Structure 1
Amino acid sequence: MYFIGYGCSFISGTASFRTAWGIQFVPCVFLMIGLPFLPRSPRWLANVDRTEEAIETLANIQAGGNRDDPLVVAEWEVITSVLQAERNALPGWRKFVYNGMWKRTLAGFTVQMWQQNSGANVMTYYVVYIFMMANLTGNINLISSGIQYALFIIFTTFIFFYIDKTGRRPLLIYGALIMGFCHFVVGGVLSAGEYVPGGVGGNENVLIRVTGPKSHTVIAFSYLLIIFYALTLAPVCWVYAAEVWSLETRATGMGIAAIGNWLFNFALGLYIPPGFQNIT
């Protein structure tokens, strides 16, 4: 969508943003057309005691309708075990704090919180500002910023084939350390830049400018940071958050983890622009 928006910027008049908005409706239309044909969740069907429908749906998804397939039998046993654990658990919020469960709740919430506060989204949402500080302007800036999104998609796809071989904790720990180093380099180089009163090109969010090798260093380490984010925190935090919960808390627990993610994602949009404007 980033490159579609970039392409539409060359269209004159209101057709520019109307075209970009209109293209976003295309996948929405396909989704709306396809939704009536989606089967109901086997887990939900089992939860409301529609057992036969649940098994039939599971068989159609996993084994072409064969209800006796080992995969179908195994997954049905998992579903029933989880539902039984949920029914036997304490009601309401208590199951998330009793008997040491608060540690898992805290881990699931904060791993997503720190994924957002790792600074990677600053380097994606506001990379145009970072690259303006690195003396990139106009279309060169926009294209260079778009490359970062492409790198993110490529390397996130790559790591899914190796995440189980490497483990969760090493990827989280070393990913955070490498990202911290990249932030340190970018911040250190920019701190030695030229202060521009009123902002570069009149943009009050861009008060610092570096040129030459310093600008190349900022750009390179901005790319490296996103590459390592895509290889570590971006996918692993979601996997870890899904696995840290017990059987009876997993479904709702993932909702709690997602709250941690999007709550601090929202906060980034509020405190980062003022942060840029107050760089001294």
Structure 2
Amino acid sequence: MIGNIYVITAIAVIGGSLFGFDLSSMSAIIGTRQYNCYFNQGPHGPPFDDSPNCSGPRSDIQGGITASMPGGSFIGALLSGVLSDRLGRKSAIQVGSVIWIVGSIIICATQNIPMLMVGRFINGLSVGICSAQVPVYVAELAPPHRRGLVVGTQQWAITWGILIMFYLSYGCSFLDGNISFRLPWGLQMIPAILLFFGLLLLPESPRWLAGKDRWEDCHNVLALVHGKGDLNDTFVQVELQQLKETCDFERSNPSQSYLELFQPNMIWRTHIGVSVQIWSQLSGINVIMLYITYVFGMTGLSGNANLVASSISYVINMVVTIVALLYVDRVGRRFALIGGGISLTIWWFVCAGLMGSYGSPAPPGGLNNIAAVSWLITGAPSKAVIACSYLVVASFAPTWGPVSWIYPPELFPLRLRGKAVALATSSNWIFNFALSYFVPPAFVNIKWKTYIIFGVFSLAMTIHCFLCFPETSGKTLEEIEELFSGNTRAWRTGVAKNRLREMDTNDVELEGIKAPVHLENVSDKSKDS
């Protein structure tokens, strides 16, 4: 059994890469002639027309094709809470990997638009399960001072999935016929196979084991991951005792349904967990991630030049996310979210100003026969729009990207964590669904004003975060409970200093909270458990 938290994380977050694979498998392909001819609904259709003027699916249908994946993810995320609580975090993720393989087979063999949408919906079920439960799993295994790093790696895995699949799809675009999109759609099942078998080598979440009264297994996992196999390690003993006390308390509050998340003592943190996921979508990042070829098409780019320019945004996304992994536990969640929100607001409004001031409507039917490419901007302003699009990605990648996954698992008690994160993640996916469907028709109907909408959203989420989101960085999952029991204003909360190992034999300091612990008693209690 593997006990190194970084190896555990590297395997688990393959589940995050599935979302990236699915996202760029569509964004890299929707601009290709092969795809647009096979699924053509334009004047040279219906489908299987090899005319160079193929326009592909109508904008509303393309929105539906793209949105079918987040639609499935919404349902998968909600189901994941029940799966996770009953089967365990690890088993729930394995179920998700099997579902992904089934969906990928259907997509690879697709014969028409309805079949493609069904396959993407099934893939979405998998992404919903994995995106909700991978952060819970690694958060419950990670030591507090590394939690942001390892949970944030989920976002980094997503960026890797986007990047790998985009270049794979780009390479396949040079193939003739429908093999150009069937091949990458088939190859995307490989990471799910690796995830399923890799999880067999990993331990179960110690907090889930504790919730099932499997104390010996829980003790062994804590020792494996946090004590290098030493069952008598001081920190392991303290963690075990904290878990026991937490479980004893939660047994006196046995309700574990979704409804408890909306009770007075829990609804505030539920609103925060749901909001951070919703805002991550309303930031507009998926306009860039899903429809970058449309955005750059408006700047006059087409064909390979468009695909290459689009791929740069995915490289930026992957590289800049590393910054978040290095600093997010030091500077905290609030600094990242507020700073990212301010930056996103600036770049969206700059884009809107450039497009509105220097652009003009495209010919009827859109550029390159794609209706969603409905606006044209050229010259130096077009280059500025491309640069601002890259800056949107660079602003989101180290801030809202990883923190929106790190934050929700930190907010909730053990008995509700699986369901709470599932609910928060489902809110991400339902808004992803709505925006995936909304953007192509928006480009057709309100054109450059679409940018103003996302600028306003970015400003609103920055204000909301400042007023309502408390700092959780550096605090133990159990300690965060105390954060919500007081009346401290969100803007007065700060990062807890890391003093995990500054302890003596009778007095233990955990993340800045002193807890008197008699180690011999802890050991005795763990044996009794």
Which position in structure 2 is the counterpart of 1:245? Answer: 412
Structure 1: which 5+ residue stretches go unaligned?
none
1:267 aligns with 2:431: no
2:211–2:415 Cα contact (<8 Å) kept: no
Judged with a 3 Å threshold, the aligned counterparts in structure 2 of structure 1 residues 101 and 49 are, in CA distance, closer, same or farther, namely closer
Could you tell me how far 1:95 is from its partner in structure 2? Answer: 3.5
Could you tell me how far 1:144 is from its partner in structure 2? Answer: 0.9
Could you tell me how far 1:242 is from its partner in structure 2? Answer: 2.8
Identity %, equivalent residues: 39
Distance in 2 (alpha carbons) for counterparts of 1:81 and 1:145:
51
Which position in structure 2 is the counterpart of 1:49? Answer: 213
Structure 2: which 5+ residue stretches go unaligned?
1-164, 448-529
User: Which of 304, 326, 330 is the matching residue for 1:165?
Assistant: 330
Letter in 2 for 1:233: W
Which position in structure 1 is the counterpart of 2:396? Answer: 229
Could you tell me how far 1:248 is from its partner in structure 2? Answer: 5.0
Letter in 1 for 2:245: S
Judged with a 3 Å threshold, the aligned counterparts in structure 2 of structure 1 residues 244 and 20 are, in CA distance, closer, same or farther, namely same
User: Which of 361, 386, 403 is the matching residue for 1:195?
Assistant: 361
SS at match of 1:66: coil
For residues 205-247 of structure 1, the C-alpha deviation after alignment (integer angstroms, 9 at most, x for no partner) is 0110111111011000000111011121112222332333355
TM-score by length of 2: 0.50
Which position in structure 1 is the counterpart of 2:246? Answer: 82
Distance in 1 (alpha carbons) for counterparts of 2:218 and 2:441:
51
Which position in structure 1 is the counterpart of 2:295? Answer: 130
The 5-angstrom pairing of residues 3-152 of structure 1 reads 3-89=167-253, 91=255, 92-93=257-258, 95-152=260-317
Distance in 1 (alpha carbons) for counterparts of 2:273 and 2:199:
30
Could you tell me how far 1:276 is from its partner in structure 2? Answer: 1.2
Letter in 1 for 2:168: I
Judged with a 3 Å threshold, the aligned counterparts in structure 2 of structure 1 residues 228 and 15 are, in CA distance, closer, same or farther, namely same
Distance in 2 (alpha carbons) for counterparts of 1:140 and 1:249:
48
Distance in 2 (alpha carbons) for counterparts of 1:93 and 1:23:
37
Distance in 1 (alpha carbons) for counterparts of 2:274 and 2:187:
35
RMSD of aligned Cα (Å): 2.1
1:89–1:95 Cα contact (<8 Å) kept: no
Distance in 2 (alpha carbons) for counterparts of 1:169 and 1:180:
16
User: Which of 338, 347, 370 is the matching residue for 1:182?
Assistant: 347
Judged with a 3 Å threshold, the aligned counterparts in structure 2 of structure 1 residues 18 and 95 are, in CA distance, closer, same or farther, namely closer
TM-score by length of 1: 0.91
Distance in 1 (alpha carbons) for counterparts of 2:375 and 2:348:
16
1:55–1:67 Cα contact (<8 Å) kept: yes
Identify, as 1 or 2, the structure richer in helix: 1
Letter in 2 for 1:105: T
Could you tell me how far 1:120 is from its partner in structure 2? Answer: 1.4
Distance in 2 (alpha carbons) for counterparts of 1:246 and 1:41:
14
Letter in 2 for 1:152: N
Distance in 2 (alpha carbons) for counterparts of 1:95 and 1:66:
38
For residues 109-163 of structure 1, the C-alpha deviation after alignment (integer angstroms, 9 at most, x for no partner) is 1111011011111121111111011111111111111111111111111122112
Distance in 2 (alpha carbons) for counterparts of 1:25 and 1:251:
26
Distance in 2 (alpha carbons) for counterparts of 1:86 and 1:140:
57
